[in-house]
Chains A and B, each alone.
Chain A
Amino acid sequence: MAARCVLGSIWTSISGVRCMANSSNISPFQRITISPQLLFFGSVQNRGIRHVVEKKEGKTTVVSEKLAYLKCWFIIAHCFMIEGLTEDVPVGPQPPNPTAQCPIYRWNLQNKYNYTDVLLLSQFIRSDGGMLPRRVTGLCAQEHRKITICVQMAHRAGLLPKHKPPLPEGHIPKKPKPQLNRYLTRWSIDSVKPIYRTGLKWCKKRISVGHPALKDNVQYGKKILYLKH
């Protein structure tokens, strides 16, 4: 039963690899049908992180995939070689509430994080700044929404400079955009219109700051959280 599970995971990983191989740039002299041949030995390890590593040796490109959780060797055609390397993932600190479903509840961080906690937010985003899906991270619906809001605010505040989408090659920006510092921006910059008539005191049109989803955050100090300025 364990062997069947492992084989199932191998097939899923191969299908992923095949898609990856098809999408990667195959040079003309390497137009060879990819037929997988498996050699399998070893047992299943703890979960780890999977990285794809490409190495060029002369004319052939060796695409090696570090499968940290399976001690397997994959050989796909004589031009592509996929290596499975073991990587010992160090055991980190344990969460104080391990029985909870959502990672935020597991670490008792509910109502305690903000847009400034970049170390926390960066764990739930892709390299181009987008959020990872909920079914992957395991967040509950409310916390996923709160994290998304905080990530958006952090992007607009310029706290995640390296997580930008990749620009196409040879992209020339038309006009240099004005670099205006901002923080706690609820709405997207282009979607907001100026308030030309603010109204009298009893019917003033206030400017919204922050987000009401983070209303329940813990306030360390006597100041109340103002959402309308």
Chain B
Amino acid sequence: MYMSSSVNTVKVKYREQWATFARSWYLIDARMQPPGKIATMCAIRLQGKHKPIYHAISDVGDHVVVINTRHIAFSGNKWEQKVYSSHNQYPGGFKQVTAAQLHLKDPKAIMKLAVYGMLPRNLHRRTMMQRLHLFPEDDLPEDILQNLTEELPQPREVPRRLDQYTPEEQEAFPRLWTPPGDYRVK
């Protein structure tokens, strides 16, 4: 790279411009992740705000592919408490569904609504949503798999379950208390 920039031929300029203005495809795994944090990462990359050449007019957004949207994890009691409302403009057409009900009906809807709410409220929003690709499970079609360039790290550190610790690690952890005389460990 150092050698090529010092040479400054026309071919090198073509390559550098292509590398700067190319539209990349990012992959995010949403398993056990909060949908809001995934949505912020998606929105930044769909707008193109992660690039130094960003401008709202110039279309510099990238494609983002989110997999395992069926396995997202909400913190707190949001599955029961968070309500998604919609109105179909008919009288009596106001519907309110909890996050759990919506997720069972459509596993991609929560992710889609989260990203949609984080994008700027202008006409570019619809084109950016077209560049967002959501998949409920791991399986991706061939053409998208070939386009992917980078996988982004997960925002939340997934904790290990008790059976995922090896017996050696469980033995190595010290016992904090000793049971009194004749107490039987159930």
Which chain B residues border A122 with CB–CB below 8 Å? 162
- Chain B contact patch, size range: 35 or more
Residue of A nearest to B170 (CB): A119
Residue of B nearest to A117 (CB): B159
Q: Mark A94-130, 1 if CB is under 8 A from B, else 0.
A: 0100000001101100000001101110110011100
Which chain A residues border B180 with CB–CB below 8 Å? 47, 136
Q: How far is the CA of A137 from the CA of B163 in the complex (A)?
A: 23
Q: How far is the CA of A160 from the CA of B180 in the complex (A)?
A: 25
Question: Is A49 touching B185 in the complex (CB atoms < 8 A)?
Answer: yes
Q: A12-B182, A16-B182 are in contact. Are A209 and B176 (CB under 8 A)?
A: no
Which chain B residues border A49 with CB–CB below 8 Å? 179, 185
Which chain A residues border B170 with CB–CB below 8 Å? 119
Most B CB atoms within 10 A — which of A12, A119, A208? A119
Question: Which residue of B77, B82, B163, B186 contacts A127 across the interface (Cβ within 8 Å)?
Answer: B186
In the complex, A182 has a CB within 8 A of chain B: yes
In the complex, A92 has a CB within 8 A of chain B: yes
Measured between C-beta atoms, what is the minimum distance from A191 to chain B in Å?
9
- Which segment, of A25-33, A35-43, A192-200, faces chain B? A192-200
Which chain A residues border B112 with CB–CB below 8 Å? none
In the complex, B78 has a CB within 8 A of chain A: yes
In the complex, B74 has a CB within 8 A of chain A: yes
Measured between C-beta atoms, what is the minimum distance from B176 to chain A in Å?
4
| Pair count A-B, CB < 8 A | 138
Q: A51-B185, A126-B186, A195-B83 are in contact. Are A181 and B72 (CB under 8 A)?
A: yes
Residues 155-186 of B at the A interface (beta carbon under 8 Å) = 159-163, 165, 169-170, 173-186
Residues 129-184 of A at the B interface (beta carbon under 8 Å) = 136-139, 157-163, 178, 180-184
Question: Is A178 touching B104 in the complex (CB atoms < 8 A)?
Answer: yes
Question: Is A187 touching B161 in the complex (CB atoms < 8 A)?
Answer: no
Question: Which residue of B160, B179, B185 contacts A118 across the interface (Cβ within 8 Å)?
Answer: B160
Measured between C-beta atoms, what is the minimum distance from B136 to chain A in Å?
13
Question: Is A210 touching B161 in the complex (CB atoms < 8 A)?
Answer: no
Question: Is A157 touching B159 in the complex (CB atoms < 8 A)?
Answer: yes
In the complex, B147 has a CB within 8 A of chain A: no
Q: A119-B165, A157-B159, A160-B162 are in contact. Are A192 and B80 (CB under 8 A)?
A: yes
Question: Is B174 touching A209 in the complex (CB atoms < 8 A)?
Answer: no
Q: How far is the CA of A11 from the CA of B73 in the complex (A)?
A: 53
In the complex, A93 has a CB within 8 A of chain B: yes
In the complex, A224 has a CB within 8 A of chain B: no
Question: Is B73 touching A160 in the complex (CB atoms < 8 A)?
Answer: no
Question: Which residue of A50, A104, A209 contacts B76 across the interface (Cβ within 8 Å)?
Answer: A209
Q: Which residues of B contact A (CB under 8 A)?
A: 32, 71-83, 96, 98, 100, 103-104, 159-163, 165, 169-170, 173-186
A–B Cβ pairs within 8 angstroms, 8 of them: A47-B181, A104-B176, A119-B162, A123-B175, A159-B159, A181-B32, A196-B96, A207-B82
Given contacts A118-B162, A183-B75, A210-B76, 4 further A-B contacts (CB under 8 A): A107-B174, A107-B176, A182-B79, A207-B81
